[in-house]
Amino acid sequence: MNTEAYYFFIIDGEVVWKQTVEIKPEMEMVNAIFSSDPKCVRAPDELAKTIRVGWKYDGTNFIPPA
């Protein structure tokens, strides 16, 4: 049984980063996120410390929960 999962970050068809994550209960959320084809977006400096889990992103703006 594998004890690690390997994730490869691809930009324009090219592998640019390899990330190894242990397969164990404490890392379940990380493995779920990496397995879901996530989008990585840099937040504006003025919002970076404000944005939390549950906010939405419309492709341009970060939106707090209602």
DSSP string, 3-64: SEEEEEEEETTEEEEEEEEE-SGGGHHHHHHHHT-----PPPTTTTTT--TT-EE-SS-EE-
pLDDT for 2: 84
pLDDT score, position 16: 96
Q: What is the pLDDT of residue 5?
A: 96
Q: What is the pLDDT of residue 1?
A: 77
What pLDDT, on the 0 to 100 scale, is given for residue 22?
96
What pLDDT, on a 0 to 100 scale, did the predictor assign at position 33? Answer: 95
Domain ranges of the chain: 4-63
Phi, psi of 11, deg, nearest 5? -125, 125
Mean pLDDT in consecutive groups of 10 residues from the start of the chain, 66 residues: 92 95 96 93 95 95 94
